[in-house]
Chains A and B, each alone.
Chain A
Amino acid sequence: MSEHLPILIVLCPLVGALVVPLVARVSLRASRALTVVATLSSLACALAALRMVLDGDDWHYHLGGWAPPWGIEYVVDPLGGGMAVVVALLAALVAIYAGPHLRVYTALRGAAFDSLFLLLTSGLLGITLTGDLFNLYVFLEISSLAAYALLASGGERAVVATFRYLLVGTIAATFYLLGLGYLYALTGTLNMADLAIRLATVPPGSAMTVGVVLIVVGLAVKMAVFPLHGWMPDAYTYAPPPVTMFIAAVMSKVSAYALIRVLFFVLPAGDAVDTARAVLSWVAVAGVLAGSILALAQTDVRRMLAYSSIGQMGYVVLGLSIGNAAALTGALLHVVGHAVAKGCLFGAIGSMPRQTVQAEIAGFAGAARRAPLTMAAFTVAALSLVGMPPTAGFFSKWYLLSGALDADVWVFAAVLMVSSLLSAVYFFRVLEQVYFTESPSPPDPGQASGMPPLSWRVVVPVLTLGAAVLLIGLFNGALVTSVIQPALPEF
């Protein structure tokens, strides 16, 4: 079976999504177990595939036995395989994390949640593995539609926020499809490798420019790059905790992966791409600053984290728009580090008892005493986003900074420093409440005794992610030389 690993990565959650609603009629417990098993086996397949790819050549898998460019192929290379491992890891942890949260659901709703979650996972995994731009669009839609339904399951305000996301997201996907149409009209192929060869011989012209612009804008909306981020804070704030944890962690990263894939592996180097990167670099600078400043203004922790995501995605865009080896290494390391850290942060917040509906910052007073383990993980992840050594965030910012200095763009280096200071300010507002403020006294006796201890299913995934933030930081050298450098495009 090992020669089928690339398809099995996507197939495990996909088949799981179809079987879960049927199994849930018999036993919700069995369908929950099936969800966890499906994501774990997908993770195992992704790890095995990445291992084999790092030892040898890229892995091409032809669906239905049809050779590209006619058939659809899946390609596992260090970049896509690495992304698949990140997505599958987060999916497995969130599948475990969601258990206690689903206890209040009926069997039908619980099964619907798990089924949609698995569909979302398989869509995101498909984006990372496919070698076909149209297939990427299909997976983008699968993951987006599943995400809309999951985000909307958080109540009335979530429905309104998600409807806005649905409108914006659908337009973004259409932009991507239109841009793809231009490239298809120019070359007559949709396979990424084939497209890269053929586009290199196409003389630059307005069709190419329009195609590039549409694709970049479409993916930028999905990434929530400033100023196309309007849908994001509300959608993250009102969704159920496991949903926010997963979507905030990986969904925008997978779109970032798609953008890197298109800009560096499909489109030929030339005017269109250079202009796109130049525009993106200034957009990223604005995003880094605006995200950090807007995060300062929030009183709701989840909104603060959402705006911080906008700033952090700015780093990734900055890295890929500078585009030299160090900056791209930083961008990719930041994609991994931020995915893990954001998952950890949202997971830790979601595990807090819902003492306040809005998760106000003041509501975190004395949280370290009530939930010391998850708050320790929260602190590590927050320090990573601020950029303290030895966490992952320090090293990704270090690479970004050296990339900016290599390219002699001092403005970007300055922006990186300023926004790190800003993120230190907004995270320490929360950490001050968590560690140095007593919980409002006297505590309500009913509330204090009625607060159940956190389930291991919540604590273990959050702690794993917190540990991963540290490990990625400590072993960043090994990660960069063994996975990220092989993943970089040839310069």
Chain B
Amino acid sequence: MRSKFGSPVLDASARLLAPFMWLFAAYVLVHGHDSPGGGFQAGVILAASIIMLRLVRGEASPPGLTSRGALTFACAGPLLYGGIGIVSVLSGGNFLDYGELPLPMDPVQIRVLGTLGIETGVMIGVTGVLVLIFDVLAPWDDGTV
């Protein structure tokens, strides 16, 4: 990307839009089990908001995500997913058996929370990867990704 192409109008509308996109991403994530949506879709919405901010306000803009941060997201999301699987192994279940997570609740609630946990992992991973794809396809002026 050559440079940001912000103007006062774009800047104001992007800033207005972003919080609603995040809210909608959170809704799609949490509501994924009984309406269309889930971690992947929430991640796409989140990534769209970050790419929008990046186009309008440039990479360094505070609520955005740097490439470095995106790489961290891309690794941390799957790690959260796998981490929940490993915690359930450590607490006596099979891999990804999140009914076995050591939480003080009844098993159904634990299973729902476990699902939400791995969906959050998916969301973080998808966000990171999509922002990274955008950055690789449109590198900054100095050639850095």
Contact = CB atoms under 8 A, between A and B. Distances in A.
Real binding pair: yes
B75 A61 contact: no
B96 A63 contact: yes
A473 interface: no
B14 interface: no
Interface stretch (A16-24, A309-317, A368-376): A16-24
B110 interface: no
Interface string B102-122: 000000000000000000000
A11 B96 CA distance: 12
Contact of A61 (B68, B94, B99): B94
A1 B91 CA distance: 11
A21 B95 contact: no
Interface in A1-35: 1, 4, 7, 11, 14-15, 18-19, 21-22, 25
B97 interface: yes
Interface residues of B, number: 18
A64 interface: yes
B87 interface: no
Contacts of A15: 79, 82, 86
Number of chain A interface residues as a range: 10 to 19
A244 B76 CA distance: 30
Contact of A64 (B78, B82, B96): B96
Nearest to A1: B89
Contacts of A62: 94
Most buried by A among B79, B89, B95: B95
A65 interface: yes
Interface in A359-410: none
A14 B97 contact: no
A260 B112 CA distance: 40
B75 A64 contact: no
B13 interface: no
B75 A18 contact: yes
Contacts of B89: 1, 4, 7
A65 B75 contact: no
Contacts of A25: 68
Contacts of B82: 11, 14-15, 18
Given A15-B82, A18-B78, A65 B93 contact: yes
A11 B89 CA distance: 12
Given A4-B89, A22-B72, A63 B78 contact: no
B96 A21 contact: no
Contacts of B40: none
Nearest to A72: B96
A65 B97 contact: yes
Nearest to A21: B75
A286 to B, nearest CB: 42
Interface string B59-80: 0000000001001100110110
B79 A64 contact: no
Contacts of B95: 4, 7, 11, 61, 63-64
Contacts of B75: 18-19, 21-22
Interface in A65-83: 65
Top 9 closest A-B pairs, CB basis?
A: A65-B97, A64-B96, A7-B95, A65-B94, A18-B75, A18-B79, A64-B97, A18-B78, A21-B75
Interface of B: 68, 71-72, 75-76, 78-79, 82, 86, 89, 93-100
Interface of A: 1, 4, 7, 11, 14-15, 18-19, 21-22, 25, 61-65
13 contacts: A4-B94, A4-B95, A7-B94, A7-B95, A11-B86, A11-B95, A15-B82, A22-B76, A63-B94, A64-B94, A64-B96, A64-B98, A65-B93
